[in-house]
Amino acid sequence: MQMQNMNQNGNQMATNMPMKQSMSNNHGGHELFDAHEVISGIICMLDQYLIYDQHIKDPELKTILQRQSAFVTQTYNTIVESFKTGQDPTIPTQQYEMTQNNDVIYGLKPGQPKKPMTSLNEISDQGISGFMLGQAKSMSSMLAMAALEMTNPVLRRVIADSVPNFIELSYEIFLYQNKHGYYQVPQLMQQDMNQMLTSYTQSNPQQPGSMTN
């Protein structure tokens, strides 16, 4: 009887103890949902870029779209491989390098008021570049939030390392739009800007053990 109780207790302990899973199965439930959101979001972005490609008139914007699409496709493959295997991907996360310079044109110029299109004939490079910017910025936020929910260390690193790349994609599109007057950047008056810039000063770091109760 005593031996039978010991066996029963041992079986119960084994049932209650968490089992260490293989890396390919090392995913939490919330992580799986967020990973699906990220992967689905990237698919949507690539599908939309494919649609935009046939409507773009400016060769410069078409080149940007095709370069970004190729890069995002590789990012997609890297994330999917890490998601399925839990191991380091065959091709690690790459670094996107934009071709635009960093010169921003400040100030507002008068233009025609904007309104929704009423026909596909009205589609323009201004509108398409705006769609691209919205998707790249949305993916930046989605990736950042998803990385905080990852339990698999490899997938967490791959997704987190992709955040700066999508920020760079967004910035490249912004610079293109700004250069062509599609995205104007207002500024404060010089006096107000100086006031804001001088509102803070640096702090001396606290040395360990120097803080008093």
**143 part of a folded domain:** yes
* Residue-level pLDDT at 17: 46
**116 part of a folded domain:** no
pLDDT in tens, 120-161: 889 999 999 999 999 999 999 999 999 999 999 999 999 999
CB 70 within 8 A of CB 49: no
**133 part of a folded domain:** yes
**2 part of a folded domain:** no
* Structural domain boundaries enclosing 157: 28-102+124-196
* pLDDT for 24 beyond 60: no
Q: For residue 175, which of 120, 101, 124 has the smallest C-alpha distance?
A: 101
- Band of residue 11 on the pLDDT scale cut at 50, 70, 90: low
Grouping H, G, I as helix, E, B as strand and the rest as coil, residue 185 is strand
Number of domains in the chain: 1
CB 126 within 8 A of CB 58: no
Phi, psi angles (nearest 5°) of residue 187: -130, 160
Residue 74 sits in a domain whose CATH number is 1.20.1260.10
What pTM was estimated for this model as a whole? 0.82
CB 36 within 8 A of CB 146: no
pLDDT in tens, 70-101: 999 999 999 999 999 888 999 999 999 998 88
Question: What average pLDDT does range 101-111 have in this prediction?
Answer: 91
Strands (E), the chain: none
**7 part of a folded domain:** no
CB 174 within 8 A of CB 129: no
Distance, in Å, from the CA atom of 76 to the CA atom of 11, rounded to the nearest integer, reads 43
